[in-house]
Amino acid sequence: MIKVNTEDYPWHAGMTVRALLDEKLFTFRHIIVRVNGEFVPEEDYVSTMIQDGDDVMVLHLMAGG
């Protein structure tokens, strides 16, 4: 199990940041990802592995029209 934006979410082996965003349908382009507080640049989403127990923050930067 991992945390995604403070809520429990099931973890599976081989989970990358990219895979997590796809699973969660986080399609908004304007986001910030932090894993255990560490910023993950967009170019590293595919290569960054998420470990069981990680705390993932996916911050959507939009405050409306």
Partner 1 sequence: MGTIIKDYSYTPAKIKHGYSGKSLYINLSDLRIEQKEITEFMKEKFTGGKGFDLWYLWHAVTPETRWDSPENEIVMSVGPLGGITQYAGTGKTLLCSISPLTDIPIDSNVGGYFGPLLKFSGWDAFELQGKSDREILIFIDGNNGRIQIEEAGEYPEDSHLLAEALTKKFAEDEDDMVNVSVVCSGSGAKHSYMGMLNFSFYDPRRKVCRFKQAARGGLGTIMHDKKVKALVVKYRGVKPNLNDPADIATINKVGVKYHKEMHDLDQKQNKMRQIGTANTVMIMSQYDLLPTRNFQTGGDPETVKISPQVFINEWLTQGLHDGCWYGCTMACAKCADHFLITTGPYAGQRVTVDGPEYECAAGLGANLGVFDPQAILEENFYCDTYGIDLISFATCTAFIMECHQRGQITKEQMGGLDLRFGNSHAVLELLHQMSRGEGFGRIAGLGVRNLKRVFVEKFGADPKLLQDIGMEVKGLEYAEYAHKESLAQQGGFAMATKGPQHDEAWLIFMDMVNKQIPTFEDKANALYYFPMFRTWFGLVGLCKLPWNDIVPTDNHKTDSPAKVPEHVQNYVDLFNAVTGKNIDKEELIVQSERVYQFQRVFSVRMGKGERKDDYAPYRSMGPVTREEYLSRQELYDKQLREFQKLDPETMDLDEKIAATRRYREDQYEQLLDAVYRRRGWTENGIPTPERLKAIGMDLPELLEVIEPKL
Footprint of partner 1 on this chain (CB under 8 A)?
Answer: 5-7, 25-30, 32, 39, 57-65
User: From start to end of the chain, where are the E strands?
Assistant: 2-4, 7-9, 31-35, 38-40, 55-60
For partner 1, the closer of residues 15 and 33 by Cβ is 33
For partner 1, the closer of residues 1 and 25 by Cβ is 25
For partner 1, the closer of residues 13 and 38 by Cβ is 38
Q: How far apart are CA 44 and CA 46, in angstroms?
A: 5
Least distance in angstroms from the C-beta of 40 to partner 1: 10
Residue 32: closest CA among 7, 10, 60: 60
